Structures are given as C-alpha cells and as structure tokens.
Copies of this chain bind each other. A is one copy, B any other.
Amino acid sequence: MSIAEAGEFGLIARIVARLDDGPATLLGPGDDAALVAAPDGRVAASTDVLVEGRHFRRDWCTAADVGHRAAGANLADIAAMGATPTALLVALVVPTDLEISWPEELAGGLSAEAAKVGASVVGGDVSAGPLTIAVTALGDLGGRAPVTRTGAQPGDVLALAGRTGYAAAGYAILSRGFRTPKIFVEAYRRPEVPYAAGAAAAQAGATAMIDVSDGLLQDLGHIATGSVVGVDVRREAFTVPDQMRDAASALGVDPYLWILTGGDDHALAATFPPEAALPPGFQKIGTVHEGTGVTVDRTPWTGGTGWDHFR
C-alpha cells in the first residue's frame, strides 16, 4: 500500500503503532503536544535533519537503519551535554508513492534506538514531499551542570569515548559499490553511540564535551574556538584495526583520514582536568594547551577537515 492510499491519518496510526512509551513519557502521541518528564527543572533539546541523497540513500540503508541513524545522531547530542535522553519528536516528509512499510520500519528503528537509552518517540508530524526526517531529542541533566564546548582549560586531558573512522570507512566502501567488510558498512548504517559515556563524563568533571558528528578534528575545532585554547591530538593514541588498514589499502586511502576527519560515528570527545580519573569508556587521545586551533602531534593537519553540508 502506498502512503497516498493510506492517507495522512492512516499513516500516523501505522507509525504510532510501532512506538512504545518510555519512562519519561507522561503523554505520548495523539494530542496537540506531548508531555515529557523534566525532573531536573531544565530540559536539554537538540534537532538534526536528514535529507535523502545527502544524509542517506535508500539503496544503502533500510528504513530501520535510517531510523537508527537519525535517532542516534540526536541522542548523541543530548549525551554530549552530559544529559540523559528522554524523548524524540520526529517531523517526517515522505513522497506519496512510497510504500507505507518504509515509514513504519523507520519508526521501528527510531523507537528501538531510543529504547537503548530509555527514551521514546513521543510525537511528531508528517507531510508529503521529498523524503526528509527532522528529529528533536530532549534530555534531562539529573541536576548536573551541562558540559558545553567552552570550558576546556590548558593542561586538560583530551579523551574519546567510542570510535571514529568506522562510519567513514563504511561510506567509502558503499560509495565504491562494495558491501563488505560488514563491520564498517554496519557502522555507517547504525552507529554505535557511547551514550552512557556522556553522563559519566559529566559526573567525572569533564570541562568540555562534543559529539563527533562531522569529523574529530573539525569538531575539536569547536572546543578550541569555544574554549579559546589549543587542542592537540596524538596520532599514536589511535591504533588502526587490521580490517580498517586492509580496507583503506584496497581503496587507496590513508586510514588516518577516516579516523581523524570521518564523521557519523558519534563518538564523544571530552576534556578533563589532569587529576581527574577518566570514566569507563574514555581513553586519552591528546592534550589541551594555551593557544588556538587543532593540531595533530603539534602539527597543523593538512589532509582535509570534515564535512560542510553545503559544499
């Protein structure tokens, strides 16, 4: 059945049937607005939009994959503030000739990814048009101060939770028409976001934190600029996995290009005071110093700098 045949309310009913309430859902889909618990008296909120052909391709990803990716990108932003995600709202624009199973499976992916952190899809809107998914995530800080991009201090340790380069490798593999190695293709389709590391970093005294969505060096540039510091990444902190080395070699790419500038894995990069014990999941990858900008082994990086969505 096409979406045109189901109609707007038929589509909404089928999407809502794929959603579950989470613990923070006080009022779920079906009214003018949802109602979400915000026990902290503040709510963290972030929005990301995915456009077909630019952020995903239907021949590379299932609808469920796109749901996982869209939810993951947003939930990671909440985690990067040191908050715990509570809810998602989804604006979905779909072509009317699309099979209705596509948005149903998308909703299933969104819901399943949110459930990993105890969050749920609480509301949204649908319209006909070119396939586009805008997701807003809400989260709760649990009484903690938010970890922004502006608090890094010279002398701080730079640490990373999660991985980088995997989704970029998967993208490169898919771009050349391959489907393996699976580990990278799956990393591109459904990023493994270290959600719990966000609140753990805040509890451990992180001074600054960012979701690595556009590429490690580019995103660290936001911390450098926001905190008015220099950030140095040690290349030797990254071990290139054998499979990545092989894939990079086969494609004629330097694997450090993926690791240092590849986006979409949604690792969390954070800075900690030198005396802080790094929380589980984080490993040291560099240092913060007086100065400006981002360097690799104290040398400016000249190999490309991540993603501009308009270029």
Taking beta carbons and an 8 Å cutoff, which residues of A are in contact with B?
3-4, 6-9, 11, 26-27, 30-51, 53-55, 76-78, 80-81, 83, 87, 89-93, 96, 122-130, 132, 134, 136-139, 141, 146, 148-150, 209-211, 226, 308-311
Contact = CB atoms under 8 A, between A and B. Distances in A.
A37 B146 CA distance: 13
B309 A33 contact: no
23 contacts: A4-B311, A31-B146, A32-B78, A32-B149, A33-B46, A33-B80, A33-B139, A34-B46, A45-B123, A45-B136, A45-B138, A47-B123, A47-B124, A47-B134, A48-B125, A49-B132, A51-B130, A53-B129, A54-B127, A127-B309, A128-B309, A129-B132, A136-B136
Contacts of A43: 35-36, 38, 43, 138
A123 B77 CA distance: 12
A146 B122 CA distance: 15
A210 B76 CA distance: 33
Given A31-B148, A38-B41, A49-B125, A310 B81 contact: no
A177 to B, nearest CB: 24
A25 to B, nearest CB: 11
A24 to B, nearest CB: 9
Contact of A128 (B93, B127, B129, B310): B310
A265 to B, nearest CB: 15
State the oligomeric state as a number of copies: 2
Contacts of A226: 30-31
A141 B32 CA distance: 14
A124 B47 CA distance: 5
A232 B232 CA distance: 69
Q: Which 8 A-B pairs have the closest CB atoms?
A: A91-B134, A134-B134, A38-B38, A33-B46, A51-B129, A49-B91, A32-B80, A136-B136
B89 A32 contact: no
A156 to B, nearest CB: 18
A225 to B, nearest CB: 10
Contacts of A81: 31-33, 35
A87 B45 contact: yes
A130 B310 CA distance: 13
A300 B308 CA distance: 55
Contacts of A311: 4, 7-8
A194 to B, nearest CB: 14
A39 B36 contact: no
A49 B134 contact: yes
A43 B25 CA distance: 10
B93 A132 contact: yes
